[in-house]
Amino acid sequence: MKKETIMLVQGSWKNVSAIAPQAAELFYQNLFAADPSLKPLFRGNMAEQGKKLMQMIGAAVGKLNDLETLVARVDERTKPPPPSAKSKKSQIQTVSF
């Protein structure tokens, strides 16, 4: 990705994160409009879900100039937990980018 593109994405993300709750709400509105069958998959509080979504995107956008780290972190987070993992606690919450 070109440096200029990264700067544009990071610049516009600033505007989106300034209205994070509304942006997250729009994301899910559009997602469920595109496929209403997805709605029952989301069982928790949607405001909390929206926060996690925005944090995740923010972390990814912040790491665009360090794609190696970004890919490694996403890879880590998308692996299923080992069978021994006892806690069902969110792994995303503890990410420190």
With binding defined as CB under 6 A, does residue 57 bind ligand HEM?
A: yes
- Taking the C-alpha atoms of residue 16 and residue 40, their distance in angstroms, rounded to an integer, is 26
42 contributes a contact to ligand HEM by CB under 6 A = yes
- List phi, psi (to 5°) of 49: -60, -45
Question: Cβ 53 to ligand HEM, closest distance in Å?
Answer: 5
DSSP state letter for 66: -
> Which of 15, 30, 37, 43 forms a contact with ligand HEM (CB under 6 A)?
43
2 versus 43: smaller Cβ distance to ligand HEM: 43
- Which of 36, 44, 80, 82 forms a contact with ligand HEM (CB under 6 A)? 44
Tokens of 18: 């300034």
Tell whether residue 31 is a contact of ligand HEM (CB under 6 A): yes
> Which DSSP symbol is given to 80?
P
Any contact of residue 16 with ligand HEM (CB under 6 A)?
no
Query: Total binding residues for ligand HEM by CB under 6 A?
Result: 13
**42 contact partners, CB below 8 Å, separation of at least 6:** 28, 49
